[in-house]
């Protein structure tokens, strides 16, 4: 039976690795931004699943429950391999119904992926691992019981009946059950610790309602803005947010994190269009002082990326490395980011071109005309909002604009 043990051991280790990654990524989504199995940061199936009601059960991530399952099978297989003899049969009897139940759950989850159209590569990989484990457990189960006296019933009776097992057997079973409970406690404690480390309290409902009343009490402003190539989201989005921004502004970095949650929540229905307002007197004569040195270079890089056709991906990379690059941003920083997407010797010359400079100057004049002096400044259907609002507030506004309230 060694061959079944080794196959189950390899599959359970693969399952542990995948589910552990998905569990951590549930709480720290930024670790998955470099892996493209789920799409880019702003059109990510994994992000959409993470923000959906299908991602957890009673507050515990589905991946965390999967981690518990794979660890349980791994422990069962290791015990059987160490004890030998009839414990191979006992392990097969445990693995067969456990993997069958897990496969049934995975089939239900796969149906959800199909219905929602959210195809998460790592999730699908775990389903494949579970299916292989179930197939292996069938063969193992049939082989183990082929020569067992009394078949399944006799083997189970021998396992649980104190009269047919010695003290060592009873001790082994007791320790196995105790370890199972310890494993359950450990996995749920692991999830709870990650939850405490990453938990951000939601804005109180009363505060959101008050902000909504204030926001809609203001009359929409008449905006006459030229098209901007700095756009993320579909052209036919039902709701469009206009953002005057500085791409090295710390608040604007936080806004991008909020936007990622909104894109996951309102997939296909939201677009954001950016206009430049760098708080850097090098290219913005209307800025009172330079608050973020070299933000003009960042603005030029964004416009160059837009003209090269990879602005959404460039924007995601920029904010992915924001903490590393914001303090010492240079033209070389911009080139390195662009080269990681699509090496193009013309990118740098485009950054310094009169056409890009004219776009930044145009946007700065528009901002001055609108009385904008801080970043980010947002417009949603003409109504102004300064700063980074809570994601709950923006979600409520978007739902209302879509006719949901």
Q: What is the domain-level CATH number for residue 236? A: 3.40.30.10
Query: What pLDDT shows up at residue 396?
Result: 92
Would you place residue 166 in the very low, low, confident or very high pLDDT band (cuts 50, 70, 90)? low
Same domain, residue pair 264 and 300: yes
Q: Whole-angstrom Cα distance, residue 79 to residue 333?
A: 53
Tell me which of 160, 180, 198 is where a domain ends: 198
For the chain, percent of residues with pLDDT exceeding 70: 85
Number of domains, the chain: 2
Q: What is the domain-level CATH number for residue 78? A: 1.20.1440.130
Same domain, residue pair 109 and 229: no
Enclosing domain of residue 138: 2-198
Same domain, residue pair 271 and 322: yes
Tell me the whole-structure pTM to 2 decimals.
0.68
Same domain, residue pair 270 and 393: yes
Using CA of residue 214, residue 217, residue 219, residue 223, what is the dihedral sign?
positive
Same domain, residue pair 256 and 341: yes
Q: Which two tokens stand for residue 175?
A: 């320790």
Q: Whole-angstrom Cα distance, residue 138 to residue 294?
A: 63
Same domain, residue pair 192 and 221: no
* 189 burial level (CB within 10 Å; 0-12, 13-18, 19+): exposed
Would you place residue 26 in the very low, low, confident or very high pLDDT band (cuts 50, 70, 90)? confident
**pLDDT average, residue stretch 155-184:** 69
DSSP 144-182: HHHS-TTHHHHHHHHHH-GGGS-HHHHHHHHHHHHHHHH
Same domain, residue pair 150 and 84: yes
* 278 burial level (CB within 10 Å; 0-12, 13-18, 19+): buried
Using CA of residue 87, residue 92, residue 97, residue 101, what is the dihedral sign?
positive
Query: What pLDDT shows up at residue 297?
Result: 95
The length of the chain is 405
Q: How many CB atoms lie within 10 A of CB 161?
A: 10
Would you place residue 138 in the very low, low, confident or very high pLDDT band (cuts 50, 70, 90)? very high
State the Cα torsion 243-245-247-248 to the nearest 10°: -140
Using alpha carbons, list the distances in angstroms from residue 71 to 56, 76, 95, 313.
Answer: 19, 9, 12, 37
Q: Whole-angstrom Cα distance, residue 371 to residue 367?
A: 6
Residues forming a β-bridge with 245: 276
Same domain, residue pair 165 and 210: no
Mean pLDDT taken over the chain: 86
Helix locations, 161-294, DSSP H:
167-198, 205-217, 250-265
Residue 160 has pLDDT above 50, yes or no: yes
**pLDDT average, residue stretch 385-394:** 90
Q: Which of 243, 239, 273 is nearest to 255 (CA)?
A: 243
Q: What residues have CB less than 8 Å from 210, skipping those under 6 apart? A: none
- The Cβ-side half-sphere exposure at 188, using a 13 Å CA radius, reads 10
Same domain, residue pair 225 and 174: no
């Amino acid at each position: 039976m060694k061959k079944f043990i080794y196959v189950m051991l390899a599959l359970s280790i693969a399952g542990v690795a995948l589910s552990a990654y998905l569990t951590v990524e549930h709480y720290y989504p930024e670790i998955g931004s470099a892996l493209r199995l789920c799409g880019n940061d702003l059109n990510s199936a994994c992000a959409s699943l993470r923000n959906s009601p299908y991602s957890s059960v009673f507050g515990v991530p589905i991946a965390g429950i999967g981690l518990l399952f794979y660890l349980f099978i791994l422990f069962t297989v290791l015990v059987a391999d160490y004890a030998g003899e009839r414990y191979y049969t006992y392990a097969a009897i445990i693995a067969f119904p456990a993997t069958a139940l897990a496969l049934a759950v995975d089939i239900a989850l796969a149906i959800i992926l199909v219905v929602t159209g959210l195809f998460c590569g790592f999730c699908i990989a775990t389903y494949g691992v579970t299916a292989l484990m179930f197939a292996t457990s069938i063969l193992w189960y049939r082989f183990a019981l082929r020569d067992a006296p009394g078949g399944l019933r006799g083997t189970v009776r021998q396992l649980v009946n104190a009269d047919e097992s010695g003290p060592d057997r009873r001790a082994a079973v007791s320790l196995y059950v105790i370890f199972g409970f310890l494993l359950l406690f450990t996995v749920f404690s692991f999830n709870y610790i990650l939850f405490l480390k990453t938990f951000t309290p939601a804005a109180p409902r009363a505060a959101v309602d008050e902000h909504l009343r204030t926001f809609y009490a203001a009359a929409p402003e008449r905006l006459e803005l030229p098209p901007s190539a700095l756009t993320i989201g579909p052209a036919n989005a039902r709701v469009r947010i206009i953002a005057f921004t500085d791409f090295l502004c710390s608040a604007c970095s936080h806004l991008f994190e909020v936007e990622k949650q909104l894109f996951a929540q309102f997939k296909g229905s939201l677009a954001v269009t950016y206009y430049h307002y760098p708080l850097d007197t090098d290219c913005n004569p209307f800025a009172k002082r330079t608050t973020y040195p070299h933000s003009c270079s960042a603005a030029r890089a964004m416009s160059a990326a837009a003209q090269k056709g990879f602005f959404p991906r460039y924007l995601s990379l920029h904010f992915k490395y924001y903490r590393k690059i914001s303090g010492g941003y240079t033209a070389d920083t911009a080139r390195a980011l662009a080269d990681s997407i699509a090496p193009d010797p013309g990118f740098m010359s485009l950054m310094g071109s009169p056409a890009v400079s004219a776009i930044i100057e145009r946007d700065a004049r528009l901002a001055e005309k609108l009385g904008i002096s801080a970043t980010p400044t947002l417009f949603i259907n003409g109504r102004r909002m300064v700063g980074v609002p809570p994601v709950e507030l923006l979600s409520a506004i978007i739902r209302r604009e879509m006719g949901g309230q």
